[in-house]
Chains A and B, each alone.
Chain A
Amino acid sequence: MAPDINPLVLLFASIFTSNILLANFLGMCSFISISKDMDSANGLGMSVTAVLTITTAINWVVYKFILIPFDLLYLRFIVFIIIIAATVQVLEMVIDRFSPSLYMALGIFLPLITVNCAILGVALFMEIRGYSFIQSIIFALGSGLGWWLAIVSLAAIQKKVLKAPVPEGLKGAGITLITIGFMAMAFIGFSGMLIVQ
Chain B
Amino acid sequence: MEFLIAPIIVALLASVLALIISVLDKHVNNYGDVEININRDKKVLNVKGGDKLLKTLSSEGVFIPSACGGKGGCGACKCKISTDVGPILPTEKPYLSAEEINENVRLACQIKVKKNLDISIPEELFDAKEFSGVVEEINDLTYDIKEVIVSIGDESIDFVSGRYIQLVVPPYGKIKESTQRAYSISSKPSEKNKIAMLIRLIPDGIATTWVHNYMKVGEKLKLIGPFGKFEKSDSNSTMVCIAGGSGMAPFKSMFHDMLEKGEIDREVWYFFGARTTKDLFLLKEFQEMEKEWPNFHFIPALSSPLPDEEWDGEKGLITDILDKYLKTEIDPSKHREGFLCGSPGMIGACNNILNHNGIQDIFYDNFA
Residues of A within 8 A of B (CB): 39-40, 43, 62, 66, 70, 72, 75, 78-79, 82-83, 86, 89-90, 93-94, 96-98, 100-101, 104, 108
Contacts and interface: CB of A to CB of B under 8 A. Distances in A.
A10 to B, nearest CB: 29
Given A83-B17, A86-B17, A86-B20, A78 B10 contact: yes
Given A79-B10, A82-B13, A93 B86 contact: no
B24 A79 contact: no
Contacts, number: 52
Counting from the closest, the 10 A-B pairs by CB-CB distance are: A86-B17, A97-B28, A93-B28, A40-B90, A93-B29, A100-B86, A89-B21, A93-B24, A72-B6, A70-B5
A95 to B, nearest CB: 10
Given A40-B90, A93-B29, A104-B89, A86 B21 contact: yes
A72 B86 CA distance: 46
Interface of B: 5-6, 9-10, 13-14, 17-18, 20-21, 24-25, 28-29, 86-87, 89-91, 112
Contacts of B9: 66, 70, 72, 75
A82 B18 CA distance: 10
A136 B162 CA distance: 62
A72 B17 contact: no
Contacts of B87: 104
Give the dominant DSSP class at B's interface.
helix
A116 B322 CA distance: 51
Given A70-B5, A70-B9, A104-B89, A93 B25 contact: yes
A94 B24 contact: yes
B56 to A, nearest CB: 16
Given A40-B90, A96-B112, A100-B86, A90 B21 contact: yes
A72 B21 CA distance: 25
Contacts of A75: 6, 9-10
29 contacts: A43-B90, A62-B13, A66-B9, A66-B13, A70-B9, A72-B6, A75-B6, A79-B10, A79-B13, A82-B17, A83-B13, A86-B20, A86-B21, A89-B21, A90-B24, A93-B21, A93-B24, A93-B25, A94-B28, A96-B29, A96-B112, A98-B28, A100-B86, A101-B86, A104-B86, A104-B87, A104-B89, A108-B89, A108-B91
Given A66-B13, A75-B10, A93-B28, 7 more contacts: A72-B9, A82-B10, A82-B14, A83-B13, A90-B21, A93-B21, A93-B25
A72 B5 contact: yes
Q: Label chain A's interface by main secondary structure.
A: helix
Contacts of A98: 28
B168 to A, nearest CB: 24
A32 B356 CA distance: 41
A112 B12 CA distance: 26
Contact of A90 (B6, B14, B20, B91): B20
Contacts of B25: 93
A126 B322 CA distance: 67
Nearest to A86: B17
A96 B24 CA distance: 12
A67 to B, nearest CB: 8
Contacts of A82: 10, 13-14, 17
Contacts of A101: 86
Contacts of A93: 21, 24-25, 28-29
Nearest to B86: A100
Nearest to A103: B86
A86 to B, nearest CB: 4
B29 A97 contact: yes
A6 B166 CA distance: 61
B83 to A, nearest CB: 13
A101 B87 CA distance: 9
A168 to B, nearest CB: 20
B31 to A, nearest CB: 8
A69 to B, nearest CB: 10
Nearest to A72: B6
Contacts of A62: 13
Contacts of A40: 90
A40 B89 CA distance: 10
Nearest to A34: B90
A79 to B, nearest CB: 6
A127 B340 CA distance: 61
Contacts of B29: 93, 96-97
A119 to B, nearest CB: 16
A54 to B, nearest CB: 14
